[in-house]
Amino acid sequence: MTGLEKMKSRILEEARSSAEVKIQDAQRQAQELLDEKKGQAERAAAAILAKARADAEGLKEKAVSASDLERRTKLLSARQEIIGEVLAEAYRKIKDMDAAAYFGLVEKLLDHYVLPQEGEIHFSPADAQRMPAGFEAKIQEAARAKGGALTLAEGDALVPDGFVLVYGGVEENCTFKAIFETRRDEMSDRVQKRLFSRDRA
């Protein structure tokens, strides 16, 4: 082999070796880049999965909370309906009392509402008609006990039940209807405590 041929052979060998080194280096860099991108993709996928799980858990909690709120709302509505029915039934029972029991209750109201003044007492036409004998005397007695006097007026169609006291043109509405309306919250609380004291919403 001549000197020129040896030189060519050496140059080709060096070129081949250099090319192999560059190829290997390129392959190494490509693998490193691939591994890096793969790691980034895995981390991104894990983050997306974690966020999706967190979002799903949040939606679940919201759904449970909304369901619980709806249950509580329905329960409260049902309780209010029951309380309303109890109060309505109590009012009906008073209206349906026999005369003796009914006017016994009226007498208790008189002791509470009569003032030490002169005035009038008004009953409904139906109550004025079924008033027990001697009850007018009890009215006068209740008024005198407070230092006042009451005149029994004729039946008043505007009075549904109970009675209305009038002192100097000022009315004191003592009808059972008015008492149930003005004291509804108080009576509702009492009914709720008796019916639902052991329940929890």
pLDDT in tens, 153-179: 988 999 999 999 999 989 999 999 999
pLDDT score of 163 = 96
Tokens of 164: 């209305």
pLDDT score of 26 = 61
d(CA 140, CA 130): 18
User: Phi, psi at residue 179, to the nearest 5°?
Assistant: -65, -45
Q: What angle do CA 129, 131, 137 make, to 5 degrees?
A: 130
Ranges in the chain, pLDDT < 70? 1, 4, 15, 18-19, 21-23, 26, 30, 33-34, 37-38, 41-42, 44-45, 48-49, 52, 55-56, 59-60, 63-64, 66, 198-201
d(CA 160, CA 155): 10
Q: Coil, strand or helix: which one is 146?
A: coil
d(CA 112, CA 115): 9
pLDDT score of 136 = 95
pLDDT score of 48 = 66
Please tell us whether the domain made up of 97-186 is placed in CATH 1.10.3470: no
pLDDT score of 150 = 95
pTM of the prediction?
0.59
User: Phi, psi at residue 167, to the nearest 5°?
Assistant: -120, 110
Residues 6 or more apart whose Cβ sits within 8 Å of residue 110 = 138, 139, 142, 143, 163
